[in-house]
Amino acid sequence: MHATRRQTLALMGAAASALATPALAQSRAIKVGALRFTSHAPTFIAMERGYFAEAGLEVEPVFFQAAQPMAVAIAAGDVDYAMTSITGGLISLAQKGAVKVFGGALSEEQGIPGQSILVSGAAMEAGVTGPADLGGRRWGMTTAGSSFHYMGAKVAEAEGIGLEFVPLQKVPAVIGALRTGQVDAWAIVPHIASGLVSSGEVHEIGKIADYLPGYQVTTMFGSTANVADRELTGAWLDAMSRAIADYNATMIDQSSGEAGVQEMVSLLAPYVYPDRTVEEARGSIVAGTMRINGGAALNVASVRDQLEWFQSEGLVDSSIAFGDLVDTSYVEAVGA
Amino acid sequence: MTDTTHSPHGARSAQTDGSARPVPFRGGGFRPATNRWAGPLVFALLIAFVEVGLRAGWISNLTLPLPSDVLATFVQLYETGLLWRHLVPSLTRFMVGGTLGALAGIGVGTLIGLFGLARAGLVPMVAALFPVPKIALLPLFVIWFGIGEGSKYALIALGTFTPMVVATYGAVDNVDRTLIRMGQSFGLSWGSIVRKIVLPGAMPGILSGLRIGLAIAIILLVAAEMLGAQYGIGAYILEAGSLYDLERLFAGVAILSVLGVATSAAVAWVERRVLRWRS
């Protein structure tokens, strides 16, 4: 018999779920939204190492270009679970009862190179050497209500300065504008920041972790119906927690040394940088390391702060309650 | 008007003679009748359908906003003064970009219509430029003209320019040659012929091109405000879209529609004045 790749995979999945005690009585097929970012490593690890299969889930990844469309895809029922930053769009959809946050993922932690505050070469020459010098300057963001907007506003608030926010729709557009000096400053995840800084056109002047310690950058969320399904969401969280533990142990605590890092990079490279070889991708993947909350714990205080900021800016309806956005019954709450 | 057989009176008098077979009137029709009520009625019915559907729950609140909420959002926009803060920059961009593009388009189109060399040289270029999605050029314009107003004017102007060129030289080509020959036989100078025969004759085609050009300008207004605009109807719509705020999204779209209707009405007014000679 000539087995196709799909059949082989299905057989392997069946074998794996037969060996381990499946969390679900019957294997269920779900779709998971993902970005080709290092921050989505747990999804890729759980797929490659069979954690999803062992939890009784047949996962099909759906790749997106930006965080916002993932929330819309979940609301439309095209995707079951996803992991992304809290945006105004996500909160509005939660208000309409379409999506719900139930766990945390990427976090800012002092001491780990998290998101960087970058300035353009022109701004650097004009004497901007720290975030306090940014008063009245142009801060790039994708859209109003994006995480970039939130970070800029929080930095400005802490420094007591005013910023002009410039919407540019897409991350590549913001990068282009920063390089050519059309915007003065931006904050971005380390694997993009390190590449930009090493090109010499932009400079790092600070860390987001210094302004927003414990900032819950990304959260796990799903459609309200899926989040109400305790069995399914529980199975998903089990698989993801195992993958997160692997990721933190290998990449942050270096428990299995250099060999472990190398193996992890080989696993992630085809997902995060499909157009590069493992060796080419290695630097960016290692530079992109950030803490992912163990057990998908959620920093409730940070999420509450984000919701309140969106409301105070009039970006989302002020009547949205915390409980409309978050279901805290699944994971451990930290930072409350 | 000396020949009576062409007038209806003449026809009737011929019939009363009894010598001719009665001919039933076969004219009429093929003339768009005006109806004041049909347009608003279609709008009202559609809006009422959505409102009732959402309130009754057979339309999901994820798919459409309540029309009454959209109206409330619009009223709020007006009361907070934000409406003007968004409308003024957008109208300025539309006017400046649209005017630049339309004037340049009419100028180049006339040149193409009048001079063989201009036609041979420019028509292929316009044909190459027309199908390029102008939105794709936006990043390039930002580098050329900066992220401020310059790139927005340029984008809207380019979008208006190409359809205006095509409409104008088409209209110049369609001017009745016998009228031009008549002008020549009356000894009019070349300049007089262009001013008094070619341009007025081309005006209906130019004005219908203007309708298309200005509609494209409104479309590009949203695209132009994608990069670096904090205020403007396009920026407002894009922000509402990214926040998944359907009420604001529809309020913004309604403003654009009104702008489209207003532009079309303005062109119709110009048509009535400029083309009075036709009736």
Confidence at residue A25, expressed as pLDDT on a 0 to 100 scale: 64
In terms of CA atoms, which chain B residue is nearest residue A144?
Answer: B239
pLDDT band at A117 (very low <50, low <70, confident <90, very high): very high
* Mean pLDDT, rounded, of chain A: 86
- What 3-state DSSP class applies to A218? strand
Of A16-20, B146-150, B195-199, B274-278, the one with minimum mean pLDDT is: A16-20
What is the sign, positive or negative, of the torsion defined by CA atoms of B67, B73, B79, B81? negative
Judge whether B148 is closer than 8 Å to chain A, CB to CB.
Answer: no
In terms of CA atoms, which chain B residue is nearest residue A138?
Answer: B228
pLDDT band at A335 (very low <50, low <70, confident <90, very high): confident
Judge whether B46 lies within some domain. no
Q: Do A143 and B238 touch (CB under 8 A)?
A: yes
The residue assigned the tokens 């163990």 is A294
Q: What's the gap in Å between the CA of B257 and the closest CA on chain A?
A: 23
Q: Do A145 and B242 touch (CB under 8 A)?
A: yes
Strands A298-299 and A333-334: parallel
Judge whether A112 is closer than 8 Å to chain B, CB to CB.
Answer: no
Confidence at residue B16, expressed as pLDDT on a 0 to 100 scale: 54
Judge whether A75 is closer than 8 Å to chain B, CB to CB.
Answer: yes
- Interface mutation vs chain B, best among A86, A90, A96, A99, most B CBs within 10 Å: A96
Residues 306-325 in A contacting B (C-alpha not used; CB under 8 Å): 315-316
Q: What's the gap in Å between the CA of A139 and the closest CA on chain B?
A: 10
Q: Do B228 and A143 touch (CB under 8 A)?
A: no
Confidence at residue B31, expressed as pLDDT on a 0 to 100 scale: 74
Reported as half-sphere exposure (CB side, CA atoms, 13 A), residue A80 has a value of 18
Q: Provide the number of structural domains found in chain A.
A: 2
Flag whether pLDDT at A200 surpasses 70: yes
The percentage of chain B sitting over the pLDDT mark of 90, rounded to a whole number, equals: 58
For residues B79 and A229, give the distance between their C-alpha atoms in angstroms, rounded to a whole number.
Answer: 44
A253 and A304 housed in the same domain:
yes
For residues B127 and B148, give the distance between their C-alpha atoms in angstroms, rounded to a whole number.
Answer: 29
| Residue A228, domain CATH | 3.40.190.10
Residues 144-203 in A contacting B (C-alpha not used; CB under 8 Å): 144-146, 164-169, 173, 176-177, 180, 182-183
pLDDT band at B7 (very low <50, low <70, confident <90, very high): very low
A123 and A28 housed in the same domain:
no
A9 and A61 housed in the same domain:
yes
CB B134 within 8 A of CB B170: no
Q: Residue A125 corresponds to which tokens in the numbers above?
A: 């020459």
Domain membership of residue B128 as a residue range: 67-278
Domain membership of residue A307 as a residue range: 5-107+216-334
Judge whether B143 is closer than 8 Å to chain A, CB to CB.
Answer: yes
pTM for this predicted structure: 0.76
Q: Do B147 and A173 touch (CB under 8 A)?
A: no
> Which residues contact residue A231 at a Cβ distance below 8 angstroms, ignoring those fewer than 6 apart?
A23, A24
Q: Alpha helices, DSSP H only, in B30-81?
A: 38-56, 67-79
Judge whether B238 is closer than 8 Å to chain A, CB to CB.
Answer: yes
For residues A87 and A67, give the distance between their C-alpha atoms in angstroms, rounded to a whole number.
Answer: 8
* Each residue's pLDDT tens digit, B261-279: 999 999 999 988 888 877 6
The percentage of chain A sitting over the pLDDT mark of 90, rounded to a whole number, equals: 34
Q: Do B243 and A165 touch (CB under 8 A)?
A: no
Closest alpha carbon to B166 in B97, B222, B101: B101
Mean pLDDT across the stretch A288-298?
A: 86
Strands A57-64 and A28-35: parallel
- Please tell me which of the candidates A92, A164, A176 has its beta carbon nearest to residue B243: A92
The percentage of chain A sitting over the pLDDT mark of 70, rounded to a whole number, equals: 92
A221 and A329 housed in the same domain:
yes
Q: Residue A157 corresponds to which tokens in the numbers above?
A: 């608030």
Q: Do A145 and B243 touch (CB under 8 A)?
A: yes
Q: Do B228 and A166 touch (CB under 8 A)?
A: yes
In terms of CA atoms, which chain A residue is nearest residue B234?
Answer: A167
A75 and A39 housed in the same domain:
yes
Q: Do A167 and B229 touch (CB under 8 A)?
A: yes
Q: What's the gap in Å between the CA of A128 and the closest CA on chain B?
A: 21
Judge whether B192 lies within some domain. yes
Q: What's the gap in Å between the CA of A89 and the closest CA on chain B?
A: 4
Judge whether B93 lies within some domain. yes
A38 and A103 housed in the same domain:
yes
Distances (CA, A) of B221 to B93, B142, B143: 7, 15, 19
Give the ipTM: 0.70
Q: Do B243 and A164 touch (CB under 8 A)?
A: no
| Residue B176, domain CATH | 1.10.3720.10
Distances (CA, A) of B278 to B30, B31, B271, B272: 18, 16, 10, 9
A46 and A145 housed in the same domain:
no
Q: What's the gap in Å between the CA of B213 and the closest CA on chain A?
A: 26
Mean pLDDT across the stretch A67-72?
A: 83
Q: What's the gap in Å between the CA of B160 and the closest CA on chain A?
A: 24
* Each residue's pLDDT tens digit, A224-265: 999 998 999 999 999 999 999 999 999 888 888 888 899 999
Judge whether B244 is closer than 8 Å to chain A, CB to CB.
Answer: yes
Q: Do B243 and A315 touch (CB under 8 A)?
A: yes
* Each residue's pLDDT tens digit, B181-238: 999 999 999 999 999 999 999 999 999 999 999 999 999 998 888 877 888 999 999 8
Q: Do A143 and B230 touch (CB under 8 A)?
A: no
For residues A104 and A117, give the distance between their C-alpha atoms in angstroms, rounded to a whole number.
Answer: 23
In terms of CA atoms, which chain B residue is nearest residue A96?
Answer: B62
Q: Which of A211, A246, A281 is the last residue of a domain?
A: A211
> Which residues contact residue A133 at a Cβ distance below 8 angstroms, ignoring those fewer than 6 apart?
A127
- Please tell me which of the candidates B61, B229, B242 has its beta carbon nearest to residue A96: B61
For residues B240 and B234, give the distance between their C-alpha atoms in angstroms, rounded to a whole number.
Answer: 10
CB B213 within 8 A of CB B160: yes
- What 3-state DSSP class applies to A334? strand
Flag whether pLDDT at A4 surpasses 70: no
Confidence at residue A2, expressed as pLDDT on a 0 to 100 scale: 52
Q: What's the gap in Å between the CA of B231 and the closest CA on chain A?
A: 10
Query: Number of residue pairs across A and B with CB atoms under 8 Å?
Result: 71
Confidence at residue A336, expressed as pLDDT on a 0 to 100 scale: 56
- Please tell me which of the candidates A164, A182, A316 has its beta carbon nearest to residue B243: A316
> Which residues contact residue A333 at a Cβ distance below 8 angstroms, ignoring those fewer than 6 apart?
A297, A298, A299, A300
A72 and A135 housed in the same domain:
no
Closest alpha carbon to A85 in A31, A44, A146: A146
Q: Do B147 and A182 touch (CB under 8 A)?
A: yes
Contacts of A173 in chain B (CB under 8 A): 139, 227
* Beta-carbon count within 10 A of A127 CB: 7
Q: Provide the number of structural domains found in chain B.
A: 1
Confidence at residue A23, expressed as pLDDT on a 0 to 100 scale: 56
Contacts of B235 in chain A (CB under 8 A): 167
Q: Alpha helices, DSSP H only, in chain B?
A: 8-16, 38-56, 67-79, 82-114, 116-129, 138-145, 149-173, 177-185, 190-193, 199-224, 233-242, 246-274
The percentage of chain B sitting over the pLDDT mark of 70, rounded to a whole number, equals: 93
A149 and A184 housed in the same domain:
yes
pLDDT band at A127 (very low <50, low <70, confident <90, very high): confident
CB A104 within 8 A of CB A296: yes
Judge whether A95 is closer than 8 Å to chain B, CB to CB.
Answer: no
Confidence at residue A65, expressed as pLDDT on a 0 to 100 scale: 79
Confidence at residue A180, expressed as pLDDT on a 0 to 100 scale: 85
Contacts of B143 in chain A (CB under 8 A): 180
Contacts of A88 in chain B (CB under 8 A): 242-245
Q: Which of A185, A211, A237 is the last residue of a domain?
A: A211
Judge whether B15 lies within some domain. no
For residues B259 and B265, give the distance between their C-alpha atoms in angstroms, rounded to a whole number.
Answer: 10
Contacts of B239 in chain A (CB under 8 A): 143-145, 167
For residues A207 and A213, give the distance between their C-alpha atoms in angstroms, rounded to a whole number.
Answer: 10
